[in-house]
Structure 1
Amino acid sequence: MTEFFRIERPYFDPAASEARFFYSLNDLSFTEVLTFPTVPDLAASESAAFEKLLGLTALVLGVSYFKLRAPLSIEAPDIPLTEAERAFVIDVYENGLGEFYARNELARFGKLTLSAPDDAQPRKDAIDLPERTLLPIGGGKDSLVSVDLLTHTGVPFTPFAVNPKGPILSSVEAIGTDPVYVTRTLDPEMIRLGKEPGFYNGHVPSTAINSMIASLCALLFGYDQIVLSNERSASEGNVVFDGRETNHQYSKSLGFELLIGDTLSNATGGALKYFSLLRPYSEARIASLFTKERKFDSVFSSCNRNFRLTGHDGALWCGVCPKCHFVFLIFAPFMAKDRLLRIFGKNLLDEPKNEHSFRELAGLTGQKPWECVGEILEAAACFYTLSRHADWHEDAVVKAVKADLFAQYGEEKLQLAMAECLTDSHDHHIPPALAAKVSAYAV
């Protein structure tokens, strides 16, 4: 039997503020539910633009069920698509699942087929959306830097999150602005099967998923722009697999930002904008900007152990994962040492057991970790800065990697890399007026 994955027409119930999505994988059936806050204007859910975005959301959310078997055939018999939308969906299922394919050794690039009716009447009329900003909050440093930038440039915003918990909740509380929260209920059978023999499991493009959910909220509650907090470092991949660069952070990359931005704009007649406020910045530059504001020190966390399906009730920072190590590394050149140690609870650069992990981050061994971490040369440049820093040069890991760091890169290359990290890129799609205000503040 030829395996297939089918995405049925989704259904939105305005009375219950609930969207339901239906999927079939061979002889298996799944239902996923999104629960929104009460919708104030039911007309918004009846628009052609909302119907279009609901269908596209169904396709993107489907990756969580598709990956159980990753068949070559994808069917959406009742969701009409333009050629551009087909390309967008295939990109999500190819590049968005790139890490999943690489780690499961599945060759899928160029082999997937998407069967869906042609959209003979693409939406061109602009819908009316208020000039308001929806800001996804991840609980880490990046979205909180966006909070600071928007606050100081006078741009009001509403925090947004899907299934908020832990650092997201504490961060939004510290922000002090009423949020828009959506509950995403995955089909429990999918979660169970992902642990069974004969089925695959792995990473999905969560930023793509949450962005599509945010687009539904933009129409339901009236926002004309979704502002992401993805840095330029997110565009660097991890490994080459099946003839393409595979990137753990693909749906945070500039390439995907342009693709989904065009998709959302075309679906709404140009009414809905989508861009990343932090795209000009490296991770190191973002870390330097974070030091301007202290009120989030005790509530934020970038440690992924806080965001597992099962939750995490321990410390904000585990101190042992590559994400913790990377964030500590990029903060160290810019933040007072006592402040950084208070945030993490210990000095991660003075624990010899962490050396291998830090070496991977700086490209001195192995490969770039499958985590949301910055560029390899960026990490190496931060180590170079610390090797010359009075507060850090005697710490165990800094001393241990110094000779190999200099031997592999050379002092001049590391100096130039650090300067480049602190130089803002012009390769972004922030509206010019907002970009000018942000640039003036972020000096």
Structure 2
Amino acid sequence: MPVTETFHIDRPSFDPESGEARFSYRLGDLTFTEILGLPTVAERERAATPAFRKLLDLTAFVLGVSYFKLRAPFDIAAGLPLSEAERAFVIDVYENGLGEFYARNDLARFGRLRLSVPDDSVPRKEAPGLAERTLLPIGGGKDSLVSVELLSHVGMDFTPFAVNPKGPILTSVEAIGREPLYVTRSLDAEMIRLGKEPGYYNGHVPSTAINSMIASLCALLFGYDQIVLSNERSASEGNVEFDGRETNHQYSKSLGFELLIADTLANATGGALKYFSLLRPYSEARIASLFAHGDRFDAVFSSCNRNFRLSGHDGPLWCGECPKCHFVFLIFAPFMAKERLLRIFGKNLLDIPANERSFRELAGLAGQKPWECVGEILEAAACFYTLTRHADWHEDAIVRSIKADLFAQYGEEKLQLAMAECLTDSRDHHIPPALAAKVAAYAV
């Protein structure tokens, strides 16, 4: 596998008349172009501001991970000026953001990547006319829909946002009942083809980082002063140690990355654009308990990734077989009526013996934490502990099968304390204080 090449990032372009942004890359003798289709904007002068130009350049770096990973060279070069802090941001995306990719392909890259770009010491000007309103990315799962309910109840103006919406994103936005802002993203077809060929690498990319940068472009063009994510505190827990670092499938959802990208976006816009996660104080179990308060999204949401590929929606809302389905079922069970949960999933995932290995991995009783957007291992174990004492669930096959091993590994006292911790809100977050206080008053 050739790694002596340099990955080149060309200057991106944006046409405000068509809403088309083009991002070009070179890797050895290979060339690629990715295209974003943004809604057309009436105030086209916004696209000419230094702040938008800077965000467009930073977006080019972040989108580039999809093409870089084909050969994962050590050198990255661009004629796009970056400040010292922006260099650190880009390196973080290419190192920690691709941590799972490196681990699963056994590639040692941490601390070894070289980024060659001109220095940028020009102070940024404030972004023009950003109104006090929120761009809210919708993923079609439980998390962003809990954010919808929280923002609605505190009276905050928000617009649903998505890139290449399909399946449960579309049905969720329809149920939300607000006019959305959508972007189309067209990856270079040759990159997709080569990713399946011998001699090229493939693997996970930091999709939250990618979609966040795309959202930042829309925030400036259409006048939003904040992007609100729906990432929980559990997302900061990694999966495995590799090449001297913890690697995390959800790295670009972690608090560490949130603080880094928030600072990067603020600096690029003179402090005008804010970025934070509304659900950061909560565990996955706590979010499940909040979702269970209402049922208006039961028939439209899905957190299952298996049936929602780049090619589109090709299955039911829940496959019932992947670790994500199993985890979501597990954390809902302590808080939701059994009949309602079975209606959502179509079957009882805790009463199917073939699922036992997957549930054991989620609770830390076998293997490693799955490479999926699932919560903390101890959190899953704590939810299982609750089910062993729950009249509706304690007789189900998997709950009975793992009970003895669960108690032997953790002990009842530790599991009790873990469940209490899951339901205690953390103060380690980046939410503006006034909004945090309003949300805390409602989310009881």
Distance 1:312 1:413 in 2: 41
Match of 1:275 in 2: 276
Distance 2:304 2:71 in 1: 29
Give the 3-state SS of the residue equivalent to 2:306 in structure 1: helix
Match of 2:46 in 1: 44
Contact 2:352/2:398 (8 A) holds in 1:
yes
Q: Which runs of 5+ in 1 are unaligned?
A: none
State the AA in 1 paired with 2:57: G
TM-score normalised over the length of structure 2: 0.99
Match of 2:362 in 1: 361
> Structure 1 residue 156: deviation in Å?
1.4
> Structure 1 residue 38: deviation in Å?
1.4
State the AA in 2 paired with 1:15: E
Distance 2:274 2:289 in 1: 28
Distance 2:293 2:155 in 1: 17
Contact 1:148/1:293 (8 A) holds in 2:
no
> Structure 1 residue 315: deviation in Å?
1.0
Contact 1:140/1:301 (8 A) holds in 2:
yes
Match of 1:28 in 2: 30
Contact 1:284/1:330 (8 A) holds in 2:
yes
Match of 1:10 in 2: 12
Match of 1:185 in 2: 186
Match of 2:104 in 1: 103
> Structure 1 residue 126: deviation in Å?
5.3
Match of 2:155 in 1: 154
State the AA in 1 paired with 2:42: P
Match of 1:114 in 2: 115
Match of 2:172 in 1: 171
Distance 2:258 2:359 in 1: 29
State the AA in 2 paired with 1:24: R
Match of 1:55 in 2: 57
Match of 2:21 in 1: 19
Distance 1:243 1:370 in 2: 18
TM-score normalised over the length of structure 1: 0.99
Match of 1:129 in 2: 130
Match of 2:336 in 1: 335
Does residue 231 (structure 1) correspond to residue 235 (structure 2)? The answer is no
> Structure 1 residue 308: deviation in Å?
1.1
Give the 3-state SS of the residue equivalent to 1:304 in structure 2: coil
Distance 2:123 2:116 in 1: 18
Distance 2:46 2:226 in 1: 16
Contact 1:234/1:252 (8 A) holds in 2:
yes
Contact 2:77/2:117 (8 A) holds in 1:
yes
> Structure 1 residue 124: deviation in Å?
4.7
Match of 1:214 in 2: 215
> Structure 1 residue 307: deviation in Å?
2.6
Match of 2:265 in 1: 264
Match of 2:377 in 1: 376
Q: Which moved more, 1:117-126 or 1:328-337?
A: 117-126
Does residue 253 (structure 1) correspond to residue 254 (structure 2)? The answer is yes
Match of 2:309 in 1: 308
Match of 2:81 in 1: 80
Distance 2:162 2:296 in 1: 20
Pairwise CA RMSD of aligned residues?
Answer: 0.8
Residue-by-residue CA offset, 1:248-292 (whole Å, 9 max, x unaligned): 000000000000000000000000000000000000000000011
Distance 2:53 2:204 in 1: 28
> Structure 1 residue 15: deviation in Å?
1.1
Residue-by-residue CA offset, 1:1-41 (whole Å, 9 max, x unaligned): 83110000000011111100000011100000000111121
State the AA in 2 paired with 1:270: G
Write the mapping of 1:286-305 to structure 2, written as runs, cut at 5 A: 286-305=287-306
> Structure 1 residue 311: deviation in Å?
2.2
Q: Which runs of 4+ in 1 moved over 6 A?
A: none
Q: Which runs of 5+ in 2 are unaligned?
A: none
Contact 2:70/2:194 (8 A) holds in 1:
yes
Residue-by-residue CA offset, 1:80-113 (whole Å, 9 max, x unaligned): 0000000000000000000000000000000000
Distance 1:93 1:40 in 2: 35
Contact 1:131/1:223 (8 A) holds in 2:
yes
How many residues in Structure 1 have an aligned counterpart in Structure 2?
442
> Structure 1 residue 228: deviation in Å?
0.1
Contact 1:302/1:323 (8 A) holds in 2:
yes
Contact 2:51/2:125 (8 A) holds in 1:
no
Give the 3-state SS of the residue equivalent to 2:193 in structure 1: helix
State the AA in 2 paired with 1:297: D
Contact 1:305/1:312 (8 A) holds in 2:
no
